[in-house]
């Protein structure tokens, strides 16, 4: 895999990206765009092997830092709406490149809002011809609620209301740690080193108001109008991104779709345990639906529902 630093502009701010291509060839390539999850960064080691699998199969990959994060310019605001703008501008950037087949652009997102953002992008942008959403969030309010006991949830809602009133009176709100006071890490998240290479580069203090956009975050609504071919990957009994979120996105989508459920594992362990099973399915999905060359294929796959259960019997 060849990797080079590139950049594009999103709403006037320069966005830093990595452009990854096969070891040989000059394109035009079928291309997959990826925006990280809520606090993710483009150079996370977790993403590399997915990109290697895609480039080994002849695809190119564009992964970038959202505005204000990593090496990208702009104000640091935790906002799914801004992230979706950046994703759409990334697609526009790809269409300017001579080494990209603009008729064969797909979206990949992994983990929480990473998976949810891929669904939002596909529903908002017809230039996306196939999408893979891994361990997604479908409903932000439900996601934040289920991280907490009912008592803690009600206290969280009260704190948000106090903060809203404080902001309109003083112009300033409370700062909180995004992974402790907006999200609530599971025990597995606290003990895993899966994201250790980027954990020390996330902000330790963000406005509590960032939670308001997560409360309104609804990839499930986007899925209900989505006809783009959609592959959903979930984990059975997932304590981090609930399994029924993946199932709901699959059930709601209108186009060709497939649901892969990884069993007898957990959210972070699944990345390693099912690497050899899931990754070929991701590559095959893009290979099937990113036809390229101006060819557009419509089939009746949407009338066939297939549930793939991976794991021990």
DSSP alpha helix (H) spans, 125-242: 140-146, 150-170, 187-191, 196-199, 210-215, 219-223
Most confident of 16-20, 186-190, 305-309: 16-20
> H/E element holding 289?
helix 275-289
Contact 179, 214 (CB under 8 A): no
Q: Quick check: is 280 in a domain?
A: yes
pLDDT (tens digit, 9 = 90+) per residue, 208-231? 999 999 999 999 999 999 999 999
Q: Quick check: is 235 in a domain?
A: yes
How far is residue 293 CA from its own chain's centroid?
Answer: 27
Q: Quick check: is 261 in a domain?
A: yes
Region 200-214: mean pLDDT is 89
Task: Tell me the pTM.
Answer: 0.92
C-alpha closest to that of 231 among 311, 188, 288, 171 = 288
Contact 169, 208 (CB under 8 A): no
Confidence (pLDDT) at 303: 47
Q: Quick check: is 37 in a domain?
A: yes
Contact 122, 131 (CB under 8 A): yes
Q: Helix 45-56 to helix 275-289 angle, to the nearest 10 degrees?
A: 50
Domain that holds residue 289: 2-138+219-310
Contact 116, 138 (CB under 8 A): yes
Total domain count, the chain: 1
DSSP-derived 3-state class of residue 78: coil
Residue 292 has pLDDT above 80, yes or no: no
Question: CATH code at 231?
Answer: 3.40.50.1820
Least confident of 67-71, 142-146, 186-190, 258-262: 186-190
Residue with tokens 């580069």: 201
How far is residue 224 CA from its own chain's centroid?
Answer: 18
295 token code pair: 């060819």
Q: Quick check: is 147 in a domain?
A: no
Q: Quick check: is 192 in a domain?
A: no
Q: Quick check: is 271 in a domain?
A: yes
Q: Quick check: is 278 in a domain?
A: yes
Longest dimension (CA), the chain: 59
pLDDT (tens digit, 9 = 90+) per residue, 93-128? 999 999 999 999 999 999 899 999 999 999 999 999
């Amino acid at each position: 895999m060849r990797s080079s630093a590139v950049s594009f502009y999103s709403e006037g701010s320069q966005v830093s990206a990595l452009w990854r291509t096969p070891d040989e060839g000059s394109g035009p390539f079928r291309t997959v765009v990826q925006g990280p999850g809520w606090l993710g960064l483009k150079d996370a080691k977790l993403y590399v092997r997915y990109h290697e699998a895609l480039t080994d199969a002849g695809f190119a990959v564009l992964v970038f830092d959202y505005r204000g994060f990593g090496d990208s310019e702009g104000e640091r605001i935790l906002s799914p709406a801004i992230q979706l703008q950046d994703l759409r501008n990334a697609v526009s950037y790809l269409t300017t490149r001579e080494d990209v087949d603009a008729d064969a652009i797909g979206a990949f997102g992994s983990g929480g809002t990473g998976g949810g953002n891929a669904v939002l992008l596909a529903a908002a942008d017809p230039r996306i011809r196939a999408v893979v959403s891994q361990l997604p969030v479908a409903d932000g309010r439900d996601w934040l609620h289920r991280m907490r006991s009912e008592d803690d949830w009600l206290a969280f809602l009260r704190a948000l209301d106090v903060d809203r009133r404080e902001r309109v009176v003083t112009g300033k709100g409370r700062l909180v740690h995004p992974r402790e006071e907006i999200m609530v890490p599971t025990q597995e998240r606290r003990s895993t080193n899966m994201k250790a290479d980027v954990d020390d580069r996330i902000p330790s203090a963000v406005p509590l108001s960032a939670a308001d956009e997560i409360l309104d975050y609804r990839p499930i609504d986007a899925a209900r109008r989505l006809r783009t071919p959609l592959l959903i990957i979930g984990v059975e009994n997932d304590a981090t991104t609930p399994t029924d979120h993946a199932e709901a996105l699959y059930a709601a989508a209108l186009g060709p779709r497939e649901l892969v459920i990884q069993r007898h594992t957990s959210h972070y362990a699944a990345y390693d345990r099912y690497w050899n099973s899931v990754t070929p399915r991701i590559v095959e999905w893009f290979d099937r639906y990113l036809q390229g060359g101006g060819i557009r294929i419509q089939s009746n796959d949407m009338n066939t529902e297939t549930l793939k259960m991976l794991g021990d019997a």
